[in-house]
C-alpha cells in the first residue's frame, strides 16, 4: 500500500498507526515501514529534517554531464527507495496497488500532493515498471482512497502523471484498468472495516460496480 499525508498528531486521527490498521483490514501492508529500508526511513521521520537544508538538494557529483540527473542526496535517496518498493511489487506481479492519500492538490501549498514522495517518486517508478518489457505480467489495478474527497481531480491528475510520456504499454494499462478512487472526506467516511470491505470487493475477481475514472486518449 502506498500513501501520503499521514502523521502522528493529525486532528482527524489519520496517523500511520491508523493507516497500518486499515492496511491490515485490506489484507495488505504499507510499503514503509513494512521493510528494513522503511524502518530506517521511519526512524528518520521520513527525512523531514532535511527540508530547508540547501545541502539536501545540492548535486553530489561534479562529473561533466551528471548534474542534470543528480538533484542531491535526498532526491537520490527517495528515487532509489521508490524503485526498491515498487520494483518489489513488479517482481511479484502484484495484482493491485492501493494508495491512500491525505494531501491537497494545490501545488503552491506546503501540504500538497505535488510535493509528496508518492507523486514525485513512487508514481514515476510505477509508470516505469509498467512500461518495462521485462514485467509484462505486472498490470495492477490502481485504487486510490482520497481522504480529502477530491477523487475527480485526484484521479485525473494521477492518470495524467502516469501517461505523461504516452508510452503505449502504460496507455493500454490505463484503458484496460481505469483508476478506481474512493472519496473519503471527513464526516462522511473513515478508515474503517466498512471502507476496507468496499476496497477489497473492488479488487476481487468479480468486482462490483466501482468508481472508475476512464482514461481518455
Give me the residue spans of the domains in the chain: 2-50+66-213
- Whether the per-residue pLDDT at 214 is higher than 70: the answer is yes
65: number of Cβ within 10 Å: 8
| Between residues 87 and 76, the one the model is more confident about | 87
Is the omega angle on the peptide bond into residue 208 within 30 degrees of 0, that is, cis? no
Mean pLDDT across 168-197: 94
The predicted-structure confidence for 80-120, as pLDDT tens digits, reads as follows 777 788 888 999 999 999 999 999 999 999 889 999 889 98
Integer CA distances (angstroms), 29 to 3, 184, 217, in order: 11, 20, 33
pLDDT given at position 100: 97
Q: What percent of the chain has pLDDT over 90?
A: 55
- Whether the per-residue pLDDT at 69 is higher than 70: the answer is no
pLDDT given at position 68: 44
User: What is the grid cell recorded at 217?
Assistant: 486518449
Q: What percent of the chain has pLDDT over 70?
A: 77
Read off the pLDDT band of 145 (50, 70, 90): very high
pLDDT given at position 66: 46
pLDDT given at position 123: 94
Average pLDDT, the chain: 83
CB 167 within 8 A of CB 131: yes
- Whether the per-residue pLDDT at 43 is higher than 70: the answer is no
10-19, 50-59, 139-148, 170-179: least confidently modelled range: 50-59
Output the CA angle 46-25-32, nearest 5 degrees.
20
Amino acid at each position: 500500500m502506498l500513501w501520503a499525508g499521514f502523521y502522528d498528531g493529525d486532528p482527524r486521527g489519520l496517523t500511520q498507526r491508523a493507516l497500518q490498521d486499515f492496511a491490515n483490514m485490506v489484507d495488505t501492508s504499507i510499503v514503509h515501514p513494512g521493510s528494513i529500508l522503511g524502518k530506517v526511513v521511519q526512524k528518520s521521520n521520513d527525512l523531514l529534517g532535511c527540508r530547508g537544508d540547501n545541502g539536501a538538494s545540492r548535486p553530489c557529483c561534479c562529473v561533466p554531464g551528471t548534474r542534470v540527473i543528480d538533484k542531491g542526496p535526498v532526491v537520490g535517496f527517495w528515487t532509489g527507495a521508490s524503485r526498491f518498493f515498487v520494483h518489489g511489487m513488479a517482481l511479484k506481479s502484484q495484482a493491485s496497488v492501493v494508495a491512500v492519500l491525505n494531501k491537497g492538490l494545490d501545488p503552491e501549498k506546503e501540504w500538497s500532493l505535488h510535493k509528496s514522495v508518492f507523486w514525485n517518486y513512487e508514481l514515476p517508478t510505477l509508470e516505469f515498471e509498467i512500461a518495462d518489457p521485462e514485467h509484462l505480467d505486472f498490470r495492477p489495478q490502481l485504487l486510490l482512497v482520497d481522504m480529502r474527497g477530491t477523487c475527480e481531480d485526484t484521479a485525473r491528475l494521477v492518470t495524467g502523471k502516469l501517461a505523461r510520456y504516452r508510452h503505449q504499454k502504460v496507455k493500454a494499462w490505463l484503458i484496460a484498468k481505469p483508476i478506481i478512487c474512493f472519496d473519503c472526506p471527513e464526516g462522511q467516511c473513515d478508515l474503517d472495516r466498512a471502507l476496507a470491505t468496499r476496497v477489497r470487493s473492488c479488487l476481487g475477481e468479480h468486482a462490483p460496480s466501482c468508481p472508475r475514472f476512464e482514461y481518455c486518449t
